Structures are given as structure tokens and as C-alpha cells.
Structure 1
Amino acid sequence: MKIAFGADHAGFHLKNHLVSLVRSLGHEVEDFGTFSESSVDYPDFAVLVAEAVETCRSERGVLICGSGVGMSIAANRFSGVRAVLALTEAQARLARGHNDANVLCLGARLSGVVLAEDAVRAFLSTAFEGGRHVPRVAKLSSCGVAAARPDTLPPSRSK
């Protein structure tokens, strides 16, 4: 599987560690940087990874910033990208199994190396369960469309 990686300065060291881990697990990696501890803007790297996943150049992505929040906000602006902030193995496993998440966001300042390794392993090894989750995931693609068109909202949300 091809995995796209990106990080800002806060995630630089953790990214490098996780890139090595993912390669050792037999996956191909495309590392979009950053390549130093110099201060950079996290959206620049979220865009590169999200575009790689959106266009299917990479099957999945991993983004790392200080909290993981900014990366997930930026990545989720791309069609077909389902980015999740998962700081534990259980969150990563459920995000893959139930939500078909394709971008994992990590907070370098919030989780240690071992927790991040566990989350990445779970994210890469867990398959989407399908079944009852398929229509739910399909609805994610129309969330913005429904918000723009009140006639498509469920009765409880329409005015």
C-alpha cells in the first residue's frame, strides 16, 4: 500500500520515525515533508497529502502537527478525504472499520511515540467493515451538499 506522509515542524521528528516504521512494515511511502524543524504552516502539508489521497496517488495518508486538529480540518476540505484525529489504537481501528477513514492525523505534542506507532499500525492493518457502515460513509460525501440545500435535510434539521 502507498502511504502519503506530511508534517509541520512540530511533527517533524515523529513523522520521520513513523515513515521508517511504515517502510519496515512493507509499505511504499511518499514523504511530502517538512524536512526540518524550521517553522512552517501545517495547511501546506495537509494539502499535499490530501491531494495525493483524493487523486488516488496514495491509498492512505498520515498527517502530523502539534495537536492533529489543524491537519484534520485542512485535509477534510478535499473531496473523498476522510481525515480523522486518532490518538489511540482503538480510535484508529474504529475510524478505519466504521468510517473508512483514509487519512490519519496525529498530535505530536499529545501522543508519545508508542501510542503513535500503535495508531498507525491499526490504521494500516484495519479494513473497512462495510455492511451497515456503507450508507453512513456515503452520506459523508453529501454532508456539505445537504447543508447548502435545506430541502435535502432530514425533517429534524429542516425549518
Structure 2
Amino acid sequence: MSDDTIAIACDHGGLDLKELLKKDLEARGLSVLDLGTNGTESVDYPDFANAMAETVKSGKAARGVLICGTGIGISIAANRHPEIRAALVHDAFTARMSREHNDANVLVLGGRTTGPGVAQDCLATFLDTEFEGGRHARRVEKMSRPV
């Protein structure tokens, strides 16, 4: 797995935020794998969630960032994959907890509900926070099994 590669994807509702966060990832010296979308025409968020799941599962990226209008739909679609722990976050605290306690491997944001500064804080926190392990490891393992 490439620890310095982060995949990012969105639907039309997250395009502006995706472009902003790509710059933050690149400024950190990370390789960015842009899975789209790259235009404002209406697209279906499950397609991008599925592409993200395959990218993380295959090891082409260590973690991912998904964005749709609210973050809700794309997080539901991503979490259908047992390998994915996509966390819809709203601030730096929830971003930190998603990593510390849930070992989230995909950060999810709402392009229409999360301001740029808050989104940047969420991304930085998500990238800088390690999984705590311990009692949380047992729970993460249970979430990672197919139902």
C-alpha cells in the first residue's frame, strides 16, 4: 500500500471542495489520485464511492476523501464495502475520533454543508491522527467482516 497516496473523489455537489482539498494534499507532499468527477454536470455518487472502495481495497491509495452535497449518500455507498470505513465528519473533533477510535480509511465531507476552512481542518486532523488500537481494534475488526 502506498502510504503517501491519497485518493479523492466527489460528485457534482463536492467539486469545489475537492479542488480545494487536492491543493492541501499536494502541499503536504502527498500523491493525489483524483477519481473524479471533474465537471458540474449531475453524476451519481455511488459510482465514485465504488471507485474509491476499489482503489483503497487494491492498495493504490492508503486513504481516501469523498465529497457529495451532504456527504450522506456517498458515505452510505462507500460503507457497503467491508474494506471501507468511511466517516462523515463535521468538525476536527469528529475527524480525530474517526481515526482514533474507528480507524476510518475514508474521510467524507459535505460540499454544501461544510465550509472550506472547517473542511481543511477536518482533512489535516484526519491525516495527522493515528488509530489508537487497544479496545477499539476488536470493534474495527468486527466492522470489517462481511455481514
Matched to 2:38, the amino acid is: F
TM-score (norm 2): 0.95
SS at match of 1:6: strand
Q: Which has the larger radius of gyration?
A: 1
TM-score (norm 1): 0.88
Map 1:23-62; keep pairs closer than 5 Å: 23-62=26-65
Match of 2:124 among 105, 121, 135: 121
After superposing the two structures, state which structure 1 stretch, 129-138 or 98-107, moved more. 129-138
Structure 1 runs (4+) deviating above 4 angstroms are none
1:98 maps to 2:108:
no
Size of the aligned set, in residue pairs, is 144
Tell me how far apart the structure 1 counterparts of residues 20 and 102 of structure 2 sit (CA, whole Å): 26
SS at match of 2:137: helix
Name stretches of at least 5 consecutive residues in structure 2 with no aligned partner: none
Tell me how far apart the structure 2 counterparts of residues 138 and 42 of structure 1 sit (CA, whole Å): 27
**Residue 77 of structure 2 corresponds to which residue in structure 1?**
74
- Give the Å deviation of 1:109: 0.9
SS at match of 1:48: helix
Name stretches of at least 5 consecutive residues in structure 1 with no aligned partner: 146-159
Identity of matched residues, %: 50
